[in-house]
Amino acid sequence: MDDSKKKFFFIIHPKYYALHIICDDNEILYEKKLFHDGLDFENNLINLKKFLDDNIFNIEKKFSLYVNDIYLIIDDKDFINIDVSLIKDFEYLLSDFKYIQNDLQNIKDSVLKSNFDYELVHMVINKFITDKNEYFELPDSIDQKNLFLEIRLICLKKERLFNYKKMFLNYQISIKKTLNYRYIDSFKTDQMINTSLIASRLINGMNKNEINFMKRRPKNIGFFEKFFKFFN
């Protein structure tokens, strides 16, 4: 089995752990869930280790593959939301699109510098405001000169994430990306309820307002691509 086309998702929730294998066409190949008692963090690490011991090697044997990296979905009290604003001049954007990328990068760097014990997990444009009108997506046409962006950064304590990374490294597994459970949960619908499946779609660009600074080409047009298309 070609494990390069499989995504591995691990959910750490106050009440349970869950492990999913998802293939490229967003189908669940494997699912395992364990409910736990939600004790303190140290005891939960013990439960987590037992869950991994019971499942990782069995999965690798069953599917004849190696779990090299995972997407880690966490529901944790040590997440914080930081809201900031950005005003852009359309003429300024038309002269050189790269500046909005620089501005967003500077916002990210500034926030993390002031919160040095946190790591960025998500950066999302919550609203676009122009001429006192609010939009949740970049509108198709704007007559006004300035665009006001409301931006949210979702961050997790580095110490917490370090402990999880250390745990998974015992199994030679790296964390490819960390995701916030409650952020993912906000995209649930009656037709789309599985957390890992939603996370997979988000990774592939389902939320066009999410800023991703990694060099990749999502299946859906992301914020940078859409902004570039809009102003050109």
Q: How far is residue 4 CA from its own chain's centroid?
A: 20
* Res. 231 pLDDT band, cuts 50 70 90: very low
- Sequence-ordered alpha helix ranges (H) in the chain: 41-63, 90-95, 98-114, 158-169, 181-185, 195-203, 223-230
Report d(CA 193, CA 147) in Å as an integer. 34
Cα dist from 22 to 9, 31, 72, 203, 210, whole Å: 8, 9, 13, 13, 22
The answer, yes or no, to whether residue 165 has pLDDT greater than 80, is yes
Q: What is the three-class DSSP state of 4?
A: helix
Report d(CA 166, CA 4) in Å as an integer. 23
The answer, yes or no, to whether residue 57 has pLDDT greater than 80, is yes
Q: What domains, with CATH codes, occur in the chain?
A: 3-76+158-203 (3.30.420.40), 80-155+221-230 (3.30.1490)
User: Looking at per-residue confidence, does 62 or 185 come out higher?
Assistant: 185
Cα angle at 20 between 16 and 22, to 5 degrees?
155
The answer, yes or no, to whether residue 197 has pLDDT greater than 90, is yes
Report pLDDT digits (tens) over 214-224: 554 444 445 55
| pLDDT (0 to 100) of residue 222 | 58
Report pLDDT digits (tens) over 87-128: 877 666 555 556 677 888 899 999 999 999 999 999 999 998
Q: What percent of the chain has pLDDT over 90?
A: 50
- Least confident among 135-139, 178-182, 191-195: 135-139
| pLDDT (0 to 100) of residue 195 | 96
The answer, yes or no, to whether residue 230 has pLDDT greater than 60, is no
* Res. 46 pLDDT band, cuts 50 70 90: confident
| pLDDT (0 to 100) of residue 217 | 47
In the block, which residue shows the tokens 């944790």?
76
The answer, yes or no, to whether residue 28 has pLDDT greater than 60, is yes
| DSSP at 210 | B
Task: Give the pair of three-digit tokens for residue 31.
Answer: 């699912």
